[in-house]
Structure 1
Amino acid sequence: MAYQPRLPKTNPNIGRQRPLQDLLLIGSALLALLFLLYWLLGLALDKALNHLSPELEQQWFANFASKPEPSPQQAYLQQLTQDLQKCSTVPYPVNVHFIDKAIANAGVMPGGTMLVYRGLLEKLDSENALAFILAHELAHLQHRDHLRGFGRALVLAVITSTLTGSSGAGQIFLPATEFGMAQHSQQRELAADAAALTMLNCRYGHTGAAEVFFHAMLQLDTSKLPSWFDSHPKLQLRLDAIQQQRQQQGYSNGTLTPLPAVLMPK
């Protein structure tokens, strides 16, 4: 029989390792573990917050911010917030801080501190439009979103530090984790809009001007990118949700209350 040379089926000098594929596999498994831990601990955090009494929350965070600086704007915003609070379930005092900066924003901090910037007032044309924004921030306190956001950021830091042994390693997973946090935040924003619309109807008997701020910001929005990593939903989505809730609840428009002179731009 004639000899036919051929290569051996196996070569002990050539390894079977595939570094790139192994790296992708390990990386995918690590990301999946991160998402699972983040999701489970986030659910546990939400459950724990449901059992945290408002009294204890205020006790912990009452001194989180300094006392507001007295001013005519602050006094008016404080009174309007107190009137709206009667239509909410926030049980502790809310302290409003008026900040004289050209930033079109408002926000809340643990312990019942609300921040309202002058730039926000410049985008509004009635007390009703302002009341919707204040009610939106009250809804965040009512839903304890301020604590949920802080807690989830802490959960993320603990997870990434535990998995990698480095407090700065969270930057590696930042795009993936920001997506998860953004989706949760967007859901909470829509829920706060819905609660704010209910408060507005309770306070004035109608929901006129609820969408004024969103329309004003929509005219300035030039971004065409998806909102996957944004903390807030797209403005048009929020406008559509408000209109849908109006129709479902039978809310109407009505006579608007003008802004007082003390809040009008000089």
Structure 2
Amino acid sequence: MEDLFLPGIALTILIGIAYITGRLADGAHERALRRDEALLPHQYLDSGDAVPDDITLHDSKLVTGKVVIAEDRFRNLLARLRIFVGGRLAAHEATVTRAKREAILRLRTNAKGASHIIGLRFDSAELGRGMIEVIVSGTALYTDHRPTGGRPSALPDDGVNISHRNLLAEFASGSIAFLLICWGIYTASGLAVEWAANSISVQEEVAIWSELEPGLIAEHREDYERSLPERYLLGLVNSIPKEAIGPAKDYDFDVLIIPDDSPNAAALPGGLMLVHTGMLELVDTENELLSILGHEIGHYNGRDHLEGIGREVVGVALSAMMFQTDAVLTTWAASWPKLLADRDYSRSQELDADDWSLRILMAKYGHVAEASTTFAKLGQLQGDRSLLDYLSTHPHPRDRVERLEDMAREQGLPIGEPVDLQVAFENFLVRTGEIPASALEDRHQFNLTNTGH
């Protein structure tokens, strides 16, 4: 969650700075325009080309006024949001009008002594990075009329084309529309990914993943290539009664231990389960360990591993397609609807996998001792519940402990004696002939985290 909150705080500060500095610059420019417009003599401005009949023309010439004006970053952000969601680009209207007024001022300054300026024409061009150039041209008429002081009889815009809506309100409405559109896209794509994942058979999944990761899947490891702890874990998985595994019984499972201190495990396509050494150091009984492996088997039954990969691929593809050069800000903003779209879905997956771990423990041992112990330990490490837990894709470990205990009590599942993990591993080594029973005098010599091949 820090990946969302910390950049979000920084971006909020930057947006606030952009808003304040932009409004200060707008105010300063508006005041300068009003002052200069009041100082210039009154001149008749007309977009028509006809020379008035009531004047005596002495001379005429072509005059121009040109200005380059830059959009502030806040208006640029607001305009990008509006381009994405559709609607009126009000953020640019006031800036364009001020640019026209500035160009008119420079045109009139170039037409000193002229009483009329006719044939006014505006041209504009985008120079990139939020800069626009506005050019106004016209014909200055030097007549027997002398211009008097005061404002011009016509300005480039009298305000009807400018939105007077507060920019912060405009930003809020654009952001909400943007988030809703992203949420809809992610939700719809998630449903499509779920359908696709459930349409792929185990055999098709293995075939596809073998092409992507041939070293892990296509060339399935032989037993001698696994470490002793990996052989033990795989033997524990294979000792589960097939009828208790569910649809995942069609997988040819393998277990790979990853040297990582974080207490975690994962299910990869093709039946490869990853277990961190940090998780092995956390558990004390074989029952705890099997509840973890059973949880990962539950993910295979729900096709969660495929759906998770599919959602990530869709998210990256949509970000690249929709956001392009605006990826830093808009991708961060779009990650919130993605998080909310995935939150309930991922939590449901986790709870369903917990249900499978309970069934597998019962089928293996005839009781469900230690079914929630690992989550209790993780809860101690994670601490009390917070707002971040509400947004997390995983339920708080303590909630999972309460749920598993309630399920066991409601179903009348017995709580038996757990099997010490060290004893179970040593018995495995003796049973498979890896070591003689006499070698077990030093009980710290053989454990899951320091025993090699």
For this structure pair, what is the TM-score category when the shorter chain's length is used for normalisation? 0.7 to 0.9
Paired residue secondary structure (2:351): helix
CA shift, 1:95, in A, is 0.9
What displacement does 1:141 show? 1.3
Q: Deviations over 1:164-209 (max 9, x none)?
A: 3448342232233223323322221111101111111111111111
| Post-superposition offset of 1:265 | 6.2
What are the residue-to-residue correspondences of 1:13-24 with 2, within 5 Å?
13=159, 15-18=162-165, 19-24=167-172
Matches within 5 A, 1:188-203: 188-203=349-364
Q: Is the 1:183–1:228 Cα contact (8 Å) retained in structure 2?
A: no
Matched, 1:181 2:358: no
Does the aligned pair in 1 maintain the 2:368–2:413 contact within 8 Å?
yes
Deviation at 1:109, TM superposition (A): 1.0
Q: Corresponding residue for 1:113? A: 272
TM-superposed CA distance for 1:223, in Å, is: 4.8
Contact kept in structure 2, 1:95 and 1:112, CA below 8 Å: yes
Corresponding position of 1:124: 283
5 Å matches for 1:153-164? 153-164=312-323
> Contact 2:179/2:333 (CA < 8 Å) preserved in 1?
no
Query: Are 1:160 and 1:167, in contact at CA under 8 Å, matched by a contact in 2?
Result: no
Counterpart check, 1:12 vs 2:196: no
3-state secondary structure, aligned to 1:98: strand
Deviations along 1:220-246, one digit per CA (max 9) or x if unpaired, are 223542213323210111011101211
- Which moves more between the two structures, 159-168 or 243-252? 159-168
Residue 61 of structure 1 is matched in structure 2 by 209
CA contact (8 A) 2:241 2:364 kept: no
Contiguous gaps of at least 5 residues in structure 2: 1-156, 427-445
> Is the 1:157–1:167 contact (alpha carbons within 8 Å) kept by the matching residues of 2?
no
AA paired with 2:158?
P
Match of 1:241 in 2: 403
Residues 242-257 of structure 1 mapped to structure 2, 5 A cutoff: 242-257=404-419
What secondary structure, in the 3-state scheme, does the structure 2 residue paired with 1:16 have? coil
Aligned residues, how many? 256
Task: Report the aligned-residue RMSD.
Answer: 2.3
| Partner residue, 1:82 | 238
More displaced 10-residue stretch of structure 1: 192-201 or 43-52? 43-52
| Counterpart amino acid of residue 29 in structure 1 | A
Higher relative contact order (CA 8 A, sep 6+): 1
Judged with a 3 Å threshold, the aligned counterparts in structure 2 of structure 1 residues 200 and 22 are, in CA distance, closer, same or farther, namely same
More strand by share: 2
Q: Could you report, residue by residue, the CA deviation over 1:128-178 in whole angstroms, capped at 9, with x for unpaired residues? A: 111100100111111111111111122222333333344834223223322
Contact 1:121 1:263 in 2 (8 A): no
Supply the distance in 1 between the matched residues of 2:286 and 2:378 (Cα, whole angstroms): 18
Change (3 A) 1:97 1:85: farther
SS in 2 for 1:114: strand
Asked whether the equivalents of residues 106 and 116 of structure 1 are also in contact (C-alpha less than 8 Å), the reply is yes
Report which of the two structures shows the higher radius of gyration computed on alpha carbons: 2
Kept in 2, the 8 Å contact 1:84–1:135? The answer is no
Q: What's the secondary structure of 2:282's corresponding residue?
A: coil
Unaligned runs of 5+ in 1: 1-10
AA of the residue aligned to 1:221:
Q
Q: TM-score, normalised by structure 1?
A: 0.86
20, 26, 36: which is aligned to 2:184?
36
Offset of residue 214 of structure 1: 1.2
Match for residue 25 of structure 1?
173
* TM-score, normalised via structure 2 length: 0.53
Deviations 1:101-150 (A, max 9, x none): 43322111111111112221222221111110010011111111111111
